[in-house]
Amino acid sequence: MSDIFDYVIVGAGAAGCVLANKLTANLATSVLVIEAGPTDSNPLIHMPRGLGKLYTNTETTYFYDVQRTAGKPETEAWLRGRMLGGSTSLNGLMYQRGHQEDYDHWERDLGLAGWGWASFGRIFKAMEDHELGANAHRGAGGPVTVSVTKNHTLLMDKLIEAGGKLGLPQFQDANLPEQEGIGYINSTIRQGRRWSANKAFLESVRSRKNLTVVINTEVTKILVDGRRAVAVECKQGDKRITYRAGREIILAAGTMHSPKILQLSGIGPGVNLQSLGIPVIHDSPEVGANLREHLVFRVQYRLSGDYSQNKQHSGWRVMWHGFRYMLTHGGLMSDPPYDVTAFVRTRKNLTRPDAQIVIGNMSMSIAEEGFTVDVKLEDEPGASIIGYNMLPESRGSVMIKSADPDAKLQVIANYLSDPRDQATAIGIVRFMRALFEHPVVKPYVKAELLPGPSVETDDQILAAYDKVSGPGYHAVGTCRMGIDAASVVDEKLRVRGVTNLRVADISIFPTLVSGNTQAPAMAAAWRAAEIIEGG
Ligand SMILES: Cc1cc2nc3c(=O)[nH]c(=O)nc-3n(C[C@H](O)[C@H](O)[C@H](O)COP(=O)(O)OP(=O)(O)OC[C@H]3O[C@@H](n4cnc5c(N)ncnc54)[C@H](O)[C@@H]3O)c2cc1C
């Protein structure tokens, strides 16, 4: 294998798979994709409801200890995918594009030419193979399969009905332009199987002669000659390897690791890097800053009868569902983990939804065990509803603590540190309760278990966030794109301070988008490929 390629892409997640697909379309261009993790051969990856067991697998998952608030000891666990497909090989499969205003804000207000809805709307349409078919705003025939949940249950039907009575339009397509509404989830599931970015974008082009994919290989550093990024240094087991880039190195290692690689390479907050003994190539204080995450609050209920799927996920029943899935790729195990989603305005004077809720016909044993990545379902019938402020202003950070690439990162979430986030945080809890307490749903509910009825006032709700909230796994922003000199990358995704180096994953998002992030990650990488090719 030659060790020099036109493009070296770091990470084969949502963004990396799209970039590999697009940049190898020109057969004269050679592309190397370097992925830290293994293939996606574990069968649980492909069974949509197999994901719980993936969250304890250290081979295919990265784990992080995250400080919830700067200066306070409380921590929580975050995780990310570490395999072909990246986090799209273990995520919750929900397909949401965000609101068009999210992107128009970037273009119109932040000056990021070419990053508005005109680009994203076009790309989403081209990307999609939507089960509901093409229309003015969605696509069919593209690489990303989007399906609508078929297995409906009584409780979820009632919750959708209650949402309607609370003023939410009911949808089948969860990505309507105006966004507000409630309905069953749309997901990246194709014929009962997870349709990850690896499936959608990489596998189909693996036979291209100009594409090389190496797995189980972790990039530890970018080598810079003068100001030009020329190669990546990697660890493959005990071996050290260097791959050179004739044209460019493109980081697609995600929000946690793209800033980590820049920092290890001497591009980051100069004072911190110097204190770790790392020679500073470019003092860029915002590398690792501006981390924005969706803070998810959970309300959990005990149901008045057997209206939950808890029982279906234990004992002989779960074995039966697994067996059925192996034979048919159908049944319960082919459903997305959550059932229903809604986009709501927590205050009526808002012009568009500020919160997303997601409902599952299951309940976790977190009342006893707290939040862990190793969640178990309750034995008794329960349901849970989670909700989050889609556009948080609070910002945290990701920073290396050592020049050793194996050392743990310091990650600080800083949830709710910006007072502007608090009104939505309170409003979303009140909305979730209104849904479950609606007369249409009430007969099916016995009691609220979490946070519990004693939590009533605004202050009590905010305090309850310390106990019953956790990450939405959508963190962005640690390599912020901007037209200002302080931003990490410019609007063409070029890393400031060096040449021949870009970042093209969701770490470049200047703000969060209104919903889950896999579709925006893929669309942004598609846009990145257009820019790299001169578009
Ligand atoms: C548990 C969970 C649930 C989620 N649920 C949903 C959902 O339901 N719907 C939704 O839309 N989004 C969801 N997301 C978010 C979505 O999956 C991510 O936003 C998206 O995958 C981000 O894309 P990315 O390319 O930036 O990073 P990733 O997809 O995480 O890819 C990064 C890749 O880089 C590799 N890598 C990292 N460091 C190195 C290195 N040093 N060298 C080489 N390779 C490296 C990683 O192994 C990984 O493959 C979820 C995420 C998680 C973690």
Q: Report which residue type is found at 445.
A: V
- Please tell me the distance from the alpha carbon of residue 39 to that of residue 386, in angstroms, as a whole number: 31
Confirm or reject: Cβ of 252 under 6 Å from ligand 1.
yes
**For 102-130, what is the mean pLDDT?**
98
Confirm or reject: Cβ of 89 under 6 Å from ligand 1.
no
Confirm or reject: Cβ of 258 under 6 Å from ligand 1.
no
Active-site residue among 46, 105, 130, 474?
474
User: 387 CA to middle of ligand 1, Å?
Assistant: 21
Q: What's the confidence (pLDDT) of residue 3?
A: 85
Could you tell me how many residues make up the chain?
Answer: 535
Confirm or reject: Cβ of 79 under 6 Å from ligand 1.
yes
Segment 195-241, tens digit of pLDDT: 999 999 999 999 999 999 999 999 999 999 999 999 999 999 999 99
**For 472-476, what is the mean pLDDT?**
98
The CA-CA-CA angle for residues 219, 220, 226, to 5°, reads 100
Residues 6+ apart with CB under 8 A from 466: 68, 74
pTM of the model: 0.97
Q: Report which residue type is found at 449.
A: L
User: 34 CA to middle of ligand 1, Å?
Assistant: 15
CA-nearest residue for atom 4, ligand 1, is: 91
Which residue among 51, 80, 258, 262 is best mutated to probe the pocket of ligand 1, counting the most ligand atoms within 8 A of its Cβ? 80
Helix (H, G, I), strand (E, B) or coil at 528: helix
Confirm or reject: Cβ of 339 under 6 Å from ligand 1.
no
User: 81 CA to middle of ligand 1, Å?
Assistant: 5
CA-nearest residue for atom 37, ligand 1, is: 253
Helix or strand holding residue 246 (H, E): strand 239-251
User: 518 CA to middle of ligand 1, Å?
Assistant: 8
Is 474 marked active-site? Answer: yes
Confirm or reject: Cβ of 211 under 6 Å from ligand 1.
no
- Please tell me the distance from the alpha carbon of residue 500 to that of residue 483, in angstroms, as a whole number: 18
Q: Whose CA is closest to 245, among 216, 220, 266, 224?
A: 224
**For 90-117, what is the mean pLDDT?**
98
- The two three-digit tokens of residue 169, written as one number: 């339009």
Q: Whose CA is closest to 219, among 197, 242, 246?
A: 242
**Phi/psi-derived region of residue 98, left when phi > 0, alpha when psi is between -120 and 50, beta in every other case:** left
Segment 344-399, tens digit of pLDDT: 999 999 999 999 999 998 888 865 555 555 667 888 999 999 999 999 999 999 99
**For 500-515, what is the mean pLDDT?**
98
User: 16 CA to middle of ligand 1, Å?
Assistant: 10
Contact 421, 393 (CB under 8 A): yes
Q: What's the confidence (pLDDT) of residue 464?
A: 96
Q: Whose CA is closest to 524, among 512, 511, 508?
A: 508
Asked whether residue 269 carries a pLDDT value surpassing 90, the answer given is yes
Q: What is the mean pLDDT of the chain?
A: 95
Segment 101-110, tens digit of pLDDT: 999 999 999 9
Confirm or reject: Cβ of 358 under 6 Å from ligand 1.
no
Confirm or reject: Cβ of 296 under 6 Å from ligand 1.
no
CA-nearest residue for atom 1, ligand 1, is: 91
Strands 239-251 and 4-10 come out as parallel
